[in-house]
Amino acid sequence: MNVDKRPVVFIILAMITILIGTVLTTFLPLFLGTAKANLEKIIPYKPLELEGRDIYIREGCNNCHTQTVRPLPFETARYGPPSRLEDSAIDRPHLWGSKRTGPDLAHVGRKYPAPWHYLHLKSPQSMYPQSNMPSYVWLADRKLDTTYSERKMNVLGYPYTAEDLRDLSDKTEMDALVAYLMRLGKETRD
Amino acid sequence: MDNQYEYRAIKGFAISSLFWAIVGLLVGILISLELVYPSFNITPWLTYGRLRPIHTNALIYGFTVPAAFSLFFFLVQRLGRTRLAFPRLAQATLYFFNIAIVLAALSLFAGMTQSKEYSELEWPLDIAIVILWVMFSINIIGTIIKRKEEQMYVSLWYILATVVGVAIVYIGNNIAVPVSWFKSYSIYAGANDANVQWWFGHNAVAFVFTTLPLAVFYYILPKATNAPLYSHRLSIIGFWSLIFAYLWTGAHHLIYTPLPDWIQTVAIAFSFFLIAPSWASVINGYGTMNGQWEQMRSNYLVKFIILGITFYAMQTIQGPSQAVRAFSALIHYTDWVPGHVHMGTMGWVTMTLSAGFYYMIPVIYNTKIYSIKLANLHFWLVLIGQLTYSVTMWINGIRQGAMWQAMNKDGSLVYSNFIQTLTPNYPFWNMRTAGGVIFFAGFLVFVYNIYKTIQTAPAVQKA
């Protein structure tokens, strides 16, 4: 059979060839449960934290900051315990990142208090004169848009109360982002 | 004499591609400055976090993809000795493409992103891209089916692999649940989401930055050198093992993450396997040059195509070496990685596509290249610019990695404050900007040369 003379057969064979590795290494693990974490201990996001996470995504923080600590001595000495499956098990999408222009943030919520983050986000250079991080001072002037907050929680299937939603009123985008940062490193109940 | 072929959309896509390349490169220079001078981050729309995806998307979807639309529409007609199957559909694809890219750029400026690397566009634009790809594929497959040359030359194989491969990985990674017109959440969570994302990420490299330029490479190589392909059999073996092995390797981007070890290890093993099929094309390139290496001096097309495949050769050795756990521990998350990526994109991909344009544009406009001198200037500027960029980033990446790793005897970190490891980047990053500017200057020479070539075309051909 000369596949180089029969384009339709060729396309089908190419598709099968491409799908073998795809199915075995990418789609099978979705159902095998090998990458499955114990969901019982995981603390779901509150609406404010989720809105903060969406601002983190919108501003592309993941372009410079990772959220995954490798099990290597120099890494745990700097950032804390190695990341586990549980830490990101409910994250859609994941925010592990691929580049550390700035430091890893997997445990940053346990490293600094909230006021530190407000100051730092407004002017990173006020704390580290040689930092290259942009100022996000304008987030403090923008009221948080809560139009889709409830819908987001429903889509992701996170539990919430009416009080959680009331918490969103009068918050700025800065408040939400800091709430999200303060959660990092506090994913589970142990 | 060339009236049997349809060139209108080809011309449009070539010009679109060059235009979006200039935009993408300018954004690249701006973000490289922002990394050293944070005051360049004026207004939310121009912050680094929003611009970096615009840089990558503009050069992947704005430059490389339409360059392929252009060159592939040319190749399928030439290699099939037949006219494009649906010329009006091709024209519609061209208009739809440019509208989609403008909307894509605006949406990224506004911060609408799925956050998945190289797949940032939100769901309505994902659907637009899938429709565009289907429109493109119908023309490619339709033209190949009605071809008059029975045997499909290896370039057509790589074209078909690109058509199929991009569709599979793009759709697979972008499945999401919409919350609004501008926001969606991935259907995958956590480690699974990461695994799917890097299966996509690495195979965007496979089907946009590998099979796509290889299709052009295998066509231009014999044309430029005026010699037959070194080994057809090698190209067959190389092809099938390449598109088989690539899909297993995505998780080498996730070494030392919580992703289960077996997936990482399989990915590392297949990364090494990939050297063989990658080098099949390299050997074909060098073998074809047998006995006529003097053309490296006299023939500008040969310079681009052979330097291109040489960077591909280095890229496909460097890539697997980065998958070794011990080496990954040092260079992952550092500047080494952009150094690696830019050797592939600025070296291999851009040089090969440039050779494709230098060959194709005079043919479709029925003229000669405007200036070989300028083509040579273009060659040297992009070569120097790219080497400056990559070498600087490799050195800096190793320095960064070494500083992050440095520990005292008591187990404490030598550079315990991250800022200590950041500030030494600045001189390297200035050097990187310089490399980018030189590369950009080379690219402008290229665009000018193409523009003047089109200007010198006989009046009938200009349309």
* CB distance B316 to B275 below 8 Å: yes
Residues in chain B: 463
What per-residue confidence (pLDDT) applies to A30? 87
Longest dimension (CA), chain B: 79
Helices B261-273, B300-322: crossing angle, 10 deg rounding: 150
Helices B123-145, A7-22: crossing angle, 10 deg rounding: 140
Instruction: Kindly list the residues from chain B whose CB atom is less than 8 angstroms away from the CB atom of residue A73.
Output: 407, 411
Residue B292 inside a domain? The answer is: yes
Residue B221 inside a domain? The answer is: no
Position B1 confidence tier, pLDDT thresholds 50, 70, 90: very low
**Cα–Cα distance measured from residue B216 to residue B349, given in angstroms and rounded to the nearest whole number:** 10
**What is the ipTM, given to two decimal places?**
0.96
Give me the DSSP letters along B292-320: -TTHHHH-HHHHHHHHHHHHHHHHHHHHH
A window 78-107, beta carbon within 8 A of B? 78, 82-85, 87-103
B180 φ, ψ (degrees, to nearest 5): -150, -175
Give per-residue pLDDT as tens, A38-53.
Answer: 888 999 999 999 999 9
**Is residue B462's pLDDT more than 70?**
no
Total domains, chain B:
2
Give per-residue pLDDT as tens, B109-163.
Answer: 999 999 999 999 999 999 999 999 999 999 999 999 999 999 999 999 999 999 9
Q: What CATH number is associated with residue B135?
A: 1.20.210.10
**Is residue B2's pLDDT more than 60?**
no
Give me the DSSP letters along B139-160: HHHHHHHT-SSSSPPHHHHHHH
Q: Which residues of B100-128 are buried (b: 16+ CB within 10 A; e: fewer)?
A: bbeebbebbbebbbbbbbbbbbbbbbbeb
Instruction: Calculate the average pLDDT of chain A.
Output: 95
- Counting Cα atoms < 13 Å in the Cβ hemisphere of B34 gives 22
Instruction: Kindly list the residues from chain B whose CB atom is less than 8 angstroms away from the CB atom of residue A34.
Output: 260, 262-263
* B135 shares its domain with B261: no
**Is residue B107's pLDDT more than 50?**
yes
Q: Do B260 and A35 touch (CB under 8 A)?
A: yes
Between B163, B186, B191, which is nearest A85 by CB?
A: B191
A window 112-151, beta carbon within 8 A of B? 124-125, 128, 130-135, 138, 147-148, 151
Residue in the block written with tokens 């690696």: B340
pTM for the full predicted model: 0.96
Residue B40 inside a domain? The answer is: yes
**Cα–Cα distance measured from residue A22 to residue B272, given in angstroms and rounded to the nearest whole number:** 17
* B172 shares its domain with B277: no
What number is the average pLDDT over the span B99-107? 98
What per-residue confidence (pLDDT) applies to A1? 58
Q: Which of A96, A136, A148 to mutate to test binding with chain B, by most B CBs within 10 Å of its CB? A: A96
Residue B50 inside a domain? The answer is: yes
* B181 shares its domain with B254: no
Residue B214 inside a domain? The answer is: no
Structure tokens at B253: 């981007």
% residues pLDDT > 70 (chain B): 98
What per-residue confidence (pLDDT) applies to A32? 82
Domain spans of chain A, in order of start: 1-36, 39-183
* B14 shares its domain with B122: yes
Give per-residue pLDDT as tens, A138-162.
Answer: 999 999 999 999 999 999 999 999 9
Position A190 confidence tier, pLDDT thresholds 50, 70, 90: confident
Residue B166 inside a domain? The answer is: yes
What number is the average pLDDT over the span B405-431? 97
Residue B224 inside a domain? The answer is: no
**Highest CATH level, class, for A39-183:** mainly alpha
What per-residue confidence (pLDDT) applies to B62? 97
What per-residue confidence (pLDDT) applies to B4? 84
**Cα–Cα distance measured from residue B29 to residue B33, given in angstroms and rounded to the nearest whole number:** 6
Instruction: Kindly list the residues from chain A whose CB atom is less than 8 angstroms away from the CB atom of residue B142.
Output: none
**Is residue B175's pLDDT more than 70?**
yes
What number is the average pLDDT over the span B349-375? 97
B window 371-390, beta carbon within 8 A of A? none
Residue B233 inside a domain? The answer is: no
**Is residue B358's pLDDT more than 90?**
yes
What number is the average pLDDT over the span B61-89? 97
**Is residue B461's pLDDT more than 60?**
no
The Cα of B446 is separated from the nearest Cα of chain A by a number of Å equal to 31
* B162 shares its domain with B297: no
* B10 shares its domain with B139: yes
**Is residue A36's pLDDT more than 90?**
no
What per-residue confidence (pLDDT) applies to B200? 98
Residue B449: which domain range?
A: 247-463
* B182 shares its domain with B294: no
**Selection from B151, B154, B349 nearest residue B235 by Cα:** B154
Q: Do A74 and B337 touch (CB under 8 A)?
A: no
Q: Do A134 and B243 touch (CB under 8 A)?
A: no
Q: Is residue A2 classed exposed, middle or buried when 0-12, 13-18 and 19+ CB atoms within 10 A define those classes?
A: exposed
Between B244, B406, B416, which is nearest A20 by CB?
A: B244
**Cα–Cα distance measured from residue A38 to residue A31, given in angstroms and rounded to the nearest whole number:** 15
Q: Do A30 and B418 touch (CB under 8 A)?
A: no
Give me the DSSP letters along B396-460: HHHHHHHHHH-B-TTS-BTT-SHHHHHTTHHHHHHHHHHHHHHHHHHHHHHHHHHHHHHHTS-GG
Instruction: Calculate the average pLDDT of chain B.
Output: 96
